[in-house]
Amino acid sequence: MPGFKKSSAIERVNVVLRYPIIENNIDSFAVVEHLFKVPNTREREEYNRRLTQVKGRKVLITTSDANFYLWNSCILSVKGYDDLPVSSNGEGDTRTWRNYFTDDTCRQHINDAVNAMMEKISSEEGEAEKNSVPSSAPSSGSM
């Protein structure tokens, strides 16, 4: 099994989501994609800080604010939104479409996309950890 190399660490996470729609009185699904850069340590710490709030002796989980922060910090592109504003060159970019994602429907898409991204990252990190051999572990040939 190969060891870790910085050059092989994941840098981007693509999240594909399906949402039910009605088009021409026919039930169907729309497929949307959110491409993220992997959050750095500072972004993850801020995400975790926003995720939990302490009110007196209660800890409150506030996923929407935390997810919106992380989405804004890490989003690289989105696809599959037919009414998404585009820039003058015909491409979508964060400067021209961030305001599109402020209503309740799109905020739910943001929640779903960030949750899926974090699940993918955790899954890949967990898989890498599970498959790694601790440096203090004896090799299979020594005992």
pLDDT digits (tens, 9 = 90+) for 76-109: 989 999 888 876 665 555 666 778 888 999 999 9
Give the range among 71-75, 95-99, 112-116 with minimum mean pLDDT.
95-99
Work out the average pLDDT over 123-134. 59
Q: Hey, which bits of the chain come out as E strands? A: 12-23, 26-37, 52-55, 58-61, 75-79
- For residue 57, the SS3 value is coil
Look over the chain and give the mean of its residue pLDDT values, rounded to a whole number.
Answer: 83
Question: Residue 70 pLDDT more than 50?
Answer: yes
Structure tokens at 79: 């696809």
Q: For residue 85, what are its two tokens?
A: 């504003």
What is the Cα–Cα distance from 68 to 12, expressed in whole angstroms? 18
- Region 12-40 average pLDDT: 94
Tokens of 119: 């699940």
* Res. 1: pLDDT tops 60: yes
Which pair of tokens denotes residue 123?
A: 């899954």
Say which amino acid occupies 50: R
What's the mean pLDDT in 24-44?
Answer: 94
Q: What is the pLDDT of residue 134?
A: 52
| pLDDT band for position 10 (cuts 50, 70, 90) | confident
